[in-house]
Chains A and B, each alone.
Chain A
Amino acid sequence: MKTALKWVSLAALLGSILPSVFLLTEIISHETANLIALSGTIVWFLITPFWMGVSR
């Protein structure tokens, strides 16, 4: 389960950054890129706390 959550977080992280690459290559619009990035952000913060421990 933890592994699955990590993969979801990784996908979310990529979702936060890859739209900018697609935007650079003009595959998608700026609005679409921002929407995908925001979705990735929300998923990252919802999922990551379940598997990332406190290290400070």
Chain B
Amino acid sequence: MTETEGTGSPEYERERVPEPALRGAGSFWGMYAGEHTAGTEFMIGPLFLAAGASLQDLVLGLLLGNLLAVITWRYLVTPIAMAKRYTLYYQLERIAGSGLVKFYNLVNGVLFCFLAGAMITVSASAVGVPFGILFSVPEDTFGFGETTFTGLVVGVGVIISLVAAAGYGMVSRVANIAAPWMIAVFIGCGVVALGQMGVHSWSAFREGAFWSDAIAFVRARHGPTEFSFLQIVIFAWLCNSAMHFGMADLSIFRFAREAASGWAPSIGMFLGHYVAWIAAGLLLAAQIKLLQDTSANPGALAWRSMGWTGIICVVIAGWTTANPTIYRSGLAFQGIFPKSSRVTMTLLAGGVATIAGMFPNLSAKLLGFVGLYGTILGPMGAIIFVDHYWMRRFGLIEEWANVEGKRINIAVLIAWLLPVVVSLYLIFRWDLFAAYAVVPSWIASGCLYLGLCKLLHRQFSERQEPIAKVNS
């Protein structure tokens, strides 16, 4: 299983990245710029406005939240990545056992598919605009949109899946080239939207009447709605929690030569997220002012703002992020069935993503889904954190599954699933904002893992037999 079929470079999937393969800080900036300027930014930005977030809260809250995210990447992920030099999957296998990692791969792969599905929907919303095929959200959570739009999602999903199955290289190159241009177009969209709303001065922008009028309109039409400063901060901080708290980006930063590389996500957070989300929110505000339409259709929003350039941006933004997401999902599935081909598993992942994309409500509920994603996958990062920093300090065995030759580390299984189950109960039964559950479940998972290891595993000093390695 290789992550870079099509690029020609080795991936060191089951070994430490050697010194000659390490990269300087500059290597990571372009990747993070492209990865976080995605089609879903066109969806998330308007959702903030539709949820009732005030402009001041958005401007300040996103600043703080994205700063916290960057700090988490820099000080939580990068040190462990540089110390271990393993992929997330191999690091987890050494701690949790190969059997448990297969289950993690299944969960990870399915969640990636749903995320990719939202991106396919966003791309389809843009492709459909010139043909008059519009994206609309049905009442039912699992309801389809218009038949023509559903067909369009299938078509776009098939194309994206075939390209993902063909390999990572070409998409990676297009994403690198497109990244600076996408950021420029997002900025352009925001500026045009301001002009459409008659905001021609800094004082008019600061006053923010265009935004508060839009929120008032949304509330009049859809009922009371509010998105607090704290929710904005937490969402911005934790929307990529699978990557930082969940340690998925160990796979990226294991190649870092310098710790300063850990600051690279800042370009994605402040240009990709911060600027793009506010710009996309402005697009919806303009649509509400001009057309009294509150539907967050990314393609239509971009078309009304920058015409064909906006359409192309939505398509490319959705495609260049859906592709690697489907690719990673395919790898995760291949981890479950090692004898299967990457192409088959990638097409399977693409199929699941396309089916998910056929339900427009998934995109409409992206704010909640992203928090859910982090809540489910984040706790594994706590286990990695505790294993790296505290196992030896408490006289316990680091990378227990690897040392003891076990396929399942029960302590990991319980420490991961128990906080997740409790969090899911609070989210679905008590309507807890999903992103609120990420940090508490992470902390609970780490504490549980430490306690369970004390209870279930023998001490490091008691180990008499030679070290047993899990077969690679």
Closest B residue to A44 by CB, please name it: B181
* A52-B176, A56-B7, A56-B175 known; A37+B200 contact, CB < 8 A: no
Which chain B residues in 239-276 approach chain A with CB under 8 Å?
A: none
| CA gap between A37 and B187 in the complex, in Å | 12
B43 within 8 A of A: no
Beta-carbon nearest neighbor of A12 in chain B: B181
What mask results when residues 278 to 319 of chain B are scored 1 for a CB within 8 Å of chain A, else 0? 000000000000000000000000000011110010000000
Chain A residues 27 to 56 lying within 8 A of chain B, measured CB to CB, are: 30-31, 33-34, 37-38, 40-41, 44-45, 48-49, 52, 54-56
Report if A19-B177 is in contact (Cβ < 8 Å); known contacts: A37-B306, A55-B27: no
- Answer whether A24 and B195 are a contact pair too, CB < 8 Å, given A34-B308, A37-B309, A49-B177: yes
By the criterion CB–CB under 8 Å, are A23 and B176 in contact? no
Q: What's the interface size class on B, roughly?
A: 20 to 34
Interface residues of B in 28-74 (CB under 8 A from A): 30-31
* A residues in contact with B189, CB < 8 Å: 20
Q: What is the size category of the interface that chain A forms with chain B? A: 20 to 34
Q: Write out the residue numbers on chain B whose beta carbons fall within 8 Å of the beta carbon of A40.
A: 309
Q: Are B176 and A13 in contact, with the CB atoms below 8 A?
A: no
Q: Which residues of A contact B181 (CB under 8 A)?
A: 13, 16, 41, 44-45, 48
Whether A55 contacts B30 in the complex (CB less than 8 A), given A23-B192, A24-B191, comes out as yes
- CB pair B192 A20 closer than 8 Å: yes
Produce 1/0 per residue, B163-180, CB < 8 A to A. 000001100110111101
Residues of A within 8 A of B (CB): 13-14, 16-17, 19-21, 23-26, 30-31, 33-34, 37-38, 40-41, 44-45, 48-49, 52, 54-56
Q: Give me 15 other A-B pairs in contact (C-beta within 8 A), A23-B192, A38-B307 excluded.
A: A13-B184, A14-B184, A17-B184, A17-B185, A21-B191, A24-B200, A38-B309, A40-B309, A41-B181, A41-B185, A52-B177, A54-B7, A54-B173, A55-B27, A56-B168
List 5 A-B residue pairs with CB atoms under 8 Å apart, sorted by A's residue number. A13-B181, A16-B181, A37-B309, A38-B307, A38-B309
